[in-house]
Amino acid sequence: MDQVRLIPFVLEEVIDAVNEEVPYGIKMINAPALWNEDIKGNKTVVAILDTGCDVKHPDLKDRIIGGKSFVEGEDDYTDSHFHGTHVAGTIAASLNNQGVTGVAPEAQLLILKVLGKDGSGSYESITEAIKYAAGWEGPDGEKVRVISMSLGGPEDVPEMHDAIKEAVKADILVVCAAGNEGDSRDDTPELSYPGYYKEVVQVGAVDEKKNIASFSNTNDEIDLVAPGVQILSTYPGGKYAKLSGTSMATPHTSGAAALLIQKEEKEFGRRLTEPEVYAQLCKNTVPAGHSKKAEGNGLLFLNPSQGEKQEAPGAAEEEIVS
């Protein structure tokens, strides 16, 4: 059996320091509008299955609630690569007057290291980490609400699929990258697992102009698209970097789910089920003008109003599909 790997991505640029900045992708999905309503993902736990995280990064150190390594020979969950740190920043980099800000700047991160310094890991490790996330409980009784996986491989592994099904039954939303094997053709599907499983939220990538990224996989299980080109986020050593890939679109969606969980549970006055969180996520999309196999329900766009759904100019409302 092949190992699972980081979904291919492009490291565009490493930057030593930035003044506090809200990256374009965060603005593009309208996250700051929810911050203005004091919805910042407070106390919502997102488990990140990746290469670990720079736990001392000034934008991330206050966001991490715990972690564990599932990589043989790498006993701690610090980032021996850089991919996991970048993903973590897009989800939840703190709003702290420095660096960058994530989608849900008050969410809590459970760092589960499943990929090593070469960006690869075993399906067994990922399966065990999913099970661990589903059963994890924080010091104050916190539970994981979202699992974010910017990784994948060509094999449909029943044990991993079963673990995902159990996590979903435990009312955890599982968000996965679609993959970067795209050929810019909607009629030639590209499949990567776990992204292609129908139980997960499969995320494709768009650029700043809402065009489908040339690398973004297309298939009949795409749920939505989010920014994934030239994404600025955290990088080990207190630095920052721009990366491109569906790996970068995925954490935008995971962070958005954290915001919606806080917002909707406040309004409903109770805990939402996984299907309800998924439905809210799909409601917070707008058509981007591409086929369903490319964009699914559309472009992620968080609408803070309780009125009519905002739409892209000239676009009609689209049906929510799984």
Beta partners for residue 74, in sequence order:
71
Q: DSSP strand E in the chain: where?
A: 4-6, 10-15, 45-50, 64-69, 108-113, 120-121, 144-149, 151-152, 173-177, 201-206, 224-227, 231-235, 239-244, 285-286, 299-300
User: Catalytic residue among 57, 81, 83, 161, which?
Assistant: 83
pLDDT for 66-115, tens place per residue?
A: 999 999 999 999 999 999 999 999 999 999 999 999 999 999 999 999 99
Could you tell me which CATH class the domain 4-300 is placed in?
A: alpha beta
Q: Is the pLDDT reported for residue 307 higher than 70?
A: no
50 is catalytic: yes
Write down the pLDDT at residue 304: 55
322 is catalytic: no
Q: Is the pLDDT reported for residue 222 higher than 50?
A: yes
Query: Cα-Cα-Cα-Cα dihedral of 249, 30, 79, 1, to 10°?
Result: -20
CB atoms within 10 A of CB 8: 14
Write down the pLDDT at residue 303: 85
* DSSP at 208: T
The domain locations on the chain are 4-300
Angle (deg, nearest 10), helices 83-92 and 246-268? 30
Write down the pLDDT at residue 8: 59
Write down the pLDDT at residue 313: 32
Q: Is the pLDDT reported for residue 182 higher than 90?
A: no
Write down the pLDDT at residue 21: 87
Write down the pLDDT at residue 10: 74
pLDDT for 266-286, tens place per residue?
A: 999 999 999 999 999 999 999
The average confidence (pLDDT) of the chain is: 91
216 is catalytic: no
pLDDT band at 7 (very low <50, low <70, confident <90, very high): low
User: Catalytic residue among 247, 252, 254, 290, which?
Assistant: 247
Write down the pLDDT at residue 305: 57
